[in-house]
Amino acid sequence: MRVAVLGVGLVGGSIGLAARARAGAEVCGYDTDPAALRTALRLGAIDEQAPDIATAVAGAQAVFAAAPVGALAQTVLDALAHAGPDCVVSDVGSTALALSDASSQGSGGRVAIDFRSDPRFVGGHPLAGAETAGAAHAREDLFEDADWYLIRDPSTDPALYERLRGLIERFGAHPTAIDADTHDRLMASVSHLPHVLANVLAAQAATAFERERFQAGAGPSLSDAIRVAGANTAIWTDIYLANRDALIAAIDDATRRLADVRAALIDGNAGALAAWNESARAARGALLGEHPPSLPGDPANLPASDA
Amino acid sequence: MRVAVLGVGLVGGSIGLAARARAGAEVCGYDTDPAALRTALRLGAIDEQAPDIATAVAGAQAVFAAAPVGALAQTVLDALAHAGPDCVVSDVGSTALALSDASSQGSGGRVAIDFRSDPRFVGGHPLAGAETAGAAHAREDLFEDADWYLIRDPSTDPALYERLRGLIERFGAHPTAIDADTHDRLMASVSHLPHVLANVLAAQAATAFERERFQAGAGPSLSDAIRVAGANTAIWTDIYLANRDALIAAIDDATRRLADVRAALIDGNAGALAAWNESARAARGALLGEHPPSLPGDPANLPASDA
């Protein structure tokens, strides 16, 4: 199979590595940054580099658009314009994709770009990332065990969808069909709100140290909680605005939950706090695919803390 | 030097290992759980086990109370009752320590136990933890580079304080003098609020998956954000109530910050969101001791995301 990867950063580079090593594909790469392309070639993430999108997608059976969010819509449009009829075109950031012109309008308003009417297009979104961006950090196993959402529309060609699904499975990921609205609401909860709260935590903790005139520092729980704070401003401003309705709903939900904890604290209600903590423990287990401890209170099964 | 460790779980066991390996101390351990004591002995975290606190602290020059929060106050009182005049007595959870009877009152009310009048007592709080609790997971390097707060009161014996400070430095940690109120306010920001928000995130994400009738799963940013969700309920109910005034103030601060983000989203104000994200990025850098990227926009320097 011939695969084209448009944008060879961390995710695109990792797709190239996985496609070559795990699916025996021949991979052609394109990037607006020649240095990234050279790195991808040197690391074996691509077999060859193309001078433009038309050349990259010529003869490809599958195309992955992995450009930054702001450039993703145009990259997909260009790929669809040049790809043949027997080629599936996907991307890696579909939350913001369907809405990706929102930020260039400066208003957060939705501008419909109707990829979905093209039977060759399947929006994709791997839930995978790493501490470091860039082709140099690409890994063949980046998608191992990761959920990879695929937005299947009624117009999608079933055979092309199947080809993409099979490819992603060979990357080691779990392809999961989802509709666009459900996807955007879930992303607000599992990705966008966590980024917002990381920002809130980082800002309030830094302010607290300043107020106490104490040197700033973070223990393990805060370090983990703020890992994604202040992520790439251009990308995340786009994402927040593109998904703002769902994100506002998630913020309102979080605010209500904080008000409930606050009330339990004001009342000194140990029972309510304990029940709330236990239900968070169950939720954590469900989200991380953990089983509850076999012996209640078994310390080896307790989640971490830095009390 | 002879050191007594009262409670040989993850933190107590790691103190024993560090005291033996890094400070050449002879370590005597005590624990209400005989199995934990046997494990600590087997792993070399202690030289010998004592049948009770009086025996453990006899002849010790330094005592670390590392029992669970709910038992910490009584452990310190027992240690002070039996330790000699030339012995510094410290603990590892001083946020909740001075207030530790709060939860046993079931009301969150403060009950002053005046350790602070004893010149041998120095409240301590290492900002270190791990995924797994229990003596079996103790590590000699658990405190390497960790901040270790020491609450120095006017009544504290300067020579005993110095002895403790030197010992903690040899563990590889950074001993930092702090007063009790400042400590409690900082802990609300750097530890207790992160735990509260982890619980909130876990609960709202699990609810979102249920509402969408979708199988629960977490990408990298959510996984990190909920790592400490649902931490040991007994311990954390005590901690939340013991420090509730400072925690309520931190929750109110977080709620105000969420309202600000919400307003920027409603207005579609890309500039305000970008500025907010940049200031979170600076805060993250200050908290984690990172320098800003040398080249703005250098992808290798960008914090992680899972967009």
Asked if residues A75 and A9 have their Cβ atoms less than 8 Å apart, the reply is no
Distance from CA of B172 to the nearest CA of A (A): 15
- DSSP 8-state symbol, B152: -
Q: Is B130 helix (H, G, I), strand (E, B) or coil?
A: strand
What architecture is the B185-301 domain classified under in CATH? Orthogonal Bundle (1.10)
Contacting residues of A for B216, CB less than 8 Å apart: 286-287, 289
In this predicted model, what pLDDT tens digit does every residue of B70-129 receive, in sequence order?
A: 788 889 999 999 999 999 999 997 655 444 443 333 333 334 456 668 999 999 999 886
A290 versus B259: the higher-pLDDT residue is: B259
Asked if B280 and A203 come within 8 Å (Cβ–Cβ), the reply is yes
Band the pLDDT of B303: cuts 50, 70, 90: very low
In this predicted model, what pLDDT tens digit does every residue of B122-136 receive, in sequence order?
A: 999 998 865 567 888
Alpha carbon distance B13, B6 (integer Å): 10
Which residues share a beta bridge with A142?
none
Domain definitions of chain B by residue range:
2-178, 185-301
Q: Does domain B2-178 have CATH number 3.90.79.10?
A: no
Strand B147-151: give its sheet, edge to edge.
B48-49, B26-30, B2-6, B62-65, B88-91, B121-126, B147-151, B174-178
pLDDT score recorded for residue A293: 40
Band the pLDDT of B150: cuts 50, 70, 90: very high
Contacting residues of B for A239, CB less than 8 Å apart: 307
Say whether pLDDT at B289 is over 60.
yes
pLDDT score recorded for residue A218: 84
Q: Backbone phi, then psi, for A48, in 5-degree steps?
A: -150, 160
Alpha-carbon distances of B198 from A20, A59, A179, A181, B226, rounded to whole Å? 38, 47, 28, 25, 5
Band the pLDDT of B293: cuts 50, 70, 90: very low
Q: What is the pTM of this model?
A: 0.78
pLDDT score recorded for residue B220: 81
pLDDT in tens, chain A (307 residues): 999 999 999 999 999 999 999 999 999 999 999 999 999 999 999 999 999 999 999 999 999 999 887 788 889 999 999 999 999 999 997 655 444 443 333 333 334 456 668 999 999 999 886 556 788 889 999 999 998 999 887 888 999 999 999 999 999 999 999 888 888 899 999 999 999 999 999 999 999 999 988 888 888 889 999 999 999 898 889 889 888 999 999 999 999 999 999 999 999 999 999 999 999 999 999 999 875 443 333 333 333 444 4
Contacting residues of B for A202, CB less than 8 Å apart: 280, 283-284, 287
Alpha-carbon distances of B10 from B16, B59, B67, B167, B259, rounded to whole Å? 10, 24, 10, 18, 39
String of DSSP letters for B105-119: GTS-------GGGST
Q: Backbone phi, then psi, for A88, in 5-degree steps?
A: -90, 135
Alpha carbon distance B130, B120 (integer Å): 29
In this predicted model, what pLDDT tens digit does every residue of B24-36 receive, in sequence order?
A: 999 999 999 999 9
Asked if B206 and A287 come within 8 Å (Cβ–Cβ), the reply is yes
pLDDT score recorded for residue B70: 72
Choose among B191, B252, B278: nearest Cβ to A306: B191
pLDDT score recorded for residue A38: 96
pLDDT score recorded for residue B108: 37
Say whether pLDDT at B305 is over 60.
no
In this predicted model, what pLDDT tens digit does every residue of B273-286 receive, in sequence order?
A: 999 999 999 999 99
pLDDT score recorded for residue A170: 97
Which residues share a beta bridge with B6?
B30, B65
pLDDT score recorded for residue A110: 39
